[in-house]
Homo-oligomer: A and B are copies of this chain.
């Protein structure tokens, strides 16, 4: 393999030899410095994209080069709105912290959720603290407010959603064992930071999903729990 980017690049032409002479982390650090020296951005990207995907790349032994913001190739608000969504809705019941609400918006954006249903006294956008953790995701993800979870569940069931509470209950389904159909419409309810999902709400659900917890604490932070459960449902649909 050889690249012709000028005389500075000579060592790359014979990189197989070089890898025998230097340790891989040292070589990679050196190449990373060289990469930063290339002033032409498109040339830089072209060079590394080609180089990194080579099966004999000496970079294979390291974590490689971070993608730039442009390379992440994310959606605009408009593109997000027009995308086919994951048929998955997160329901937030009586969440006290607006920061937690904002974090769930950010996760819902990442996993392309259909919507967030906000119920009870959970605060709604626009809100200064939601914005601080959602960082703009409150503009992409659709949301709707309901006076209480009962109303949200009614609307969800009318639209063909199966509704699960994330809670530790008798007969709850352990997260690692749940299996949903690829296009099944699912809604998951996350409850208050201290009291969890209301018992009356749970009785209206199709089941409870439980995150296995093996330590001392009784629960996870709600934004973390939302990340874990939403990921588990999304992962099977993007594999």
Contacts and interface: CB of A to CB of B under 8 A. Distances in A.
Interface of A: 25, 28-29, 32, 48-49, 52-53, 59-67, 69, 72, 74-77, 79-80, 83, 103, 106-112, 133, 135-137, 140-141, 164-165, 167-172, 175-177, 196-197, 199-208, 211-218, 220-221, 223-228, 231-232, 234-235, 238-239
Nearest to A172: B64
A220 B32 contact: no
Contacts of A83: 214
Given A211-B110, A225-B227, A63 B164 contact: yes
Given A110-B217, A228-B228, A202 B66 contact: yes
Given A63-B208, A74-B217, A206-B61, A224 B106 contact: yes
Contact of A109 (B175, B197, B217): B217
Given A170-B53, A205-B63, A220-B227, A112 B214 contact: yes
Nearest to A204: B25
Oligomer copy total: 2
A45 to B, nearest CB: 9
Contacts of A140: 215-217
Nearest to A108: B215
Contacts of A203: 25, 28-29, 32, 62-64
Contacts of A228: 227-228, 231
B213 A110 contact: yes
A76 B112 contact: no
Nearest to A236: B176
A77 B137 contact: no
Contacts of A215: 74-75, 80, 108-112, 137, 140-141
Given A227-B227, A232-B231, A72 B103 contact: no
Contacts of A223: 103, 221, 223-224
Given A199-B66, A207-B63, A72 B168 contact: yes
Nearest to A61: B206
B164 A221 contact: no
Nearest to A213: B110
Interface centre among A76, A202, A216 (most CB of B within 10 A): A216
A232 B212 CA distance: 12
